[in-house]
Amino acid sequence: MSLVVVGLSHHSSSVELREKLAFPAASIPAALRSFRERLDGAGVVILNTCNRVEVYANYAPASAEEIADEIRAFLCDSRGVPEAEFRDALYVHSGRNAAGHLFRVMSSIDSLVVGEAQILGQAHDAYLLSQSEQAADKVIHALFQKAFAVAKNIRSRTSIGEGKVSVVSVAVDLAVSVFQELAGKTVMVIGSGEMGGLALKHLMEHGAGRVLVVNRNEEKAQALAEPYGGEPIAFEALPKHLHRADIVISTTASPHAVLHPPEFRQALKERAQQPMLVIDIAVPRDVEPEVGGLDNVYLYNMDDLEQVVAENLSGRRKELDRCMALVEQGVEQFTSWTQALAAEPTLVSMTKELDLIREEELRKTLAALPDLTEKEQAEIAYLTKRILRKILSRSMAEIKHEIGHHDPHTVLHLVKRIFGLKEFTCERDHEIHETHEKL
């Protein structure tokens, strides 16, 4: 096995560089085929997200260094970017380190937002695409299956994914905590900022009812309101409509506050003092801080929201030691499997060599006992198979155990010397088991 990952992420490169090396989704199938042409029979997965571009490859005939060089050349050719532009930003991991890296990535330990769940789905899609292009060999398949298991284990046994870690998700949680039920609630968005639109989207997905969009630009207001069947409102008319809003999301680019206490006092009067949640995402702030002192107004600005995010992230980071222990456990298990895989040709050789000896000795014995019936000859043959099966089962178990705890090459070299083995070609992965079935 020569497992290698070469890539760059938010840890090692700028977004501009990641954009240059990023693979458009539609181009990845062809890219997988292209890489397979470079290294015939290699297993490969391309993991491409907004925060990372990584190529995982396994190719037994080549060394880790040779595979890494091929991946660098592949990135140059497929993305049309000179290697000098990205070489210093690339990281290279091989063997157990490559496995550990993927396990950390898929467990979101390596993510920009520790504990986020999106990366698991992205990695799953990348793996399935590799499978559909017949680019996932036995090692790649086992690697990603183990990575999924490790990520699931970490999610279930730690609190790494608990707590909202984005301003938008915290804002939605606040709305739910204030109103319990969002059905029938009216959301007013002031401005057309990206986060305001995203918060609106999530609030509507949580069951919020009517949408009001206030903007100085009528076209922008219409564009944001239309997908939700909302109502655009002219900016000058904002005070007249404020009382209609249960949830206000303000995200303008105004250099000064656009909402003040008198406007909220009037709105509360018209609402019969029904509570209002006001989420001020603008910097500078859109809502005067004194509004938060009014009864039945729950005002949160960016500092408030980011403080909750920071507290949640801090709680997640405290879980990192537990997560890393589970990652290391998964790495050990995967490494033991790969080491056992490396032993397969030797175990095939041992099985065939000993079976040849059994057949030769059986032939001599039966030739010396010509008076035996066919049934008696079959009984003796079955006896020799049972004896050899037990010898092989115990021997293979011990060999695999030794390989898992010592240098595999040293162990296998000793086995070959003891049994005088000549390597047989292992044409099928289950050849050992098939030979066993004959015994």
pLDDT tens-digit profile of 287-340?
A: 999 999 999 999 998 888 878 877 777 888 888 899 999 999 999 999 888 877
Measured CA distances, 17 to 4, 50, 82, 105, 228 (Å)? 21, 11, 11, 20, 36
Cβ atoms of 277 and 247 within 8 Å: the answer is yes
Catalytic position from the list 50, 76, 323, 426: 50
Residues 6+ apart with CB under 8 A from 158: 319, 322, 323, 326
Q: What is the pLDDT of residue 167?
A: 73
State which amino acid sits at residue 133: E
Rounded mean pLDDT, 366-379: 94
**pLDDT at res. 439:** 52
What is the band of 436 on the pLDDT scale with cuts at 50, 70, 90?
A: very low
Task: With cut-offs at 50, 70 and 90, classify the pLDDT of residue 429.
Answer: very low
SS3 assignment, position 297: strand
Q: In this structure, are strands 297-301 and 247-250 parallel, antiparallel, or unpaired?
A: unpaired
Q: Residue 91, SS3?
A: strand
Query: What confidence tier does 400 reach under pLDDT thresholds 50, 70, 90?
Result: confident
To the query of whether residue 50 is one of the catalytic residues in this protein, the response is yes
- The reply to whether omega before 232 is within 30° of 0 (cis) is no
Pick the more confident residue, 139 or 337.
139
Q: In sequence order, what DSSP letters do the residues of 111-137 get, joined into one string?
A: SSSTT-SHHHHHHHHHHHHHHHTT---
pLDDT band for 282, please (50, 70, 90 cuts): confident
Q: Cβ distance 340 to 138 under 8 Å?
A: no
Residue 368 reports pLDDT greater than 90: yes
User: Mind listing the pLDDT tens digit for each residue in 61-93?
Assistant: 899 999 999 999 999 999 999 999 999 999 999
